[in-house]
Copies of this chain bind each other. A is one copy, B any other.
């Protein structure tokens, strides 16, 4: 039985946490889930640390949707640096699932991308917890989350 933390934001324009929770529950019955919603991506690092230290999570998904402006890119960078720090402080993985608004051409594609990237990273979470061998099998295969895989260079 493993405990998975889900940290998400009210800033995001898509409810990535609900997608993540549904997918995780489908992928494994040996998990429990704790959710923690905060305003924006810069609030995620300490939320993840709390999920590890106060809620006893084994791994956390950090879900966010940075806006299209330069300042949003900056915020996402700061959040990412913080998420890496938390992982090093806690010796546990945080799977960052950020969908940048300008990755998609329109709302429909953004919705599709947010859902798919979240689902594919939920699989990564399960693999890190239970199936490390499976990740190794896909090493160097050019996997991408949300869009089509880039594929290996030597095919």
Contact = CB atoms under 8 A, between A and B. Distances in A.
A122 to B, nearest CB: 12
Interface in A64-94: 67, 71, 73-75, 77-89, 91-94
Interface in A97-140: 100, 107, 110-111, 114, 121, 124, 128, 132, 135-136, 138-140
B38 A135 contact: yes
A21 to B, nearest CB: 11
A85 B87 contact: no
A12 B142 contact: yes
Interface residues of A, number: 72
A56 interface: no
Nearest to A123: B39
B46 A139 contact: no
A12 to B, nearest CB: 5
A150 interface: yes
Nearest to A143: B10
A153 B88 contact: no
Contact of A91 (B46, B84, B85, B88): B46
Contact of A54 (B91, B96, B150): B91
16 contacts: A10-B143, A14-B140, A14-B154, A15-B140, A37-B135, A39-B124, A39-B143, A42-B84, A46-B88, A46-B92, A46-B94, A49-B87, A50-B91, A78-B80, A82-B84, A88-B89
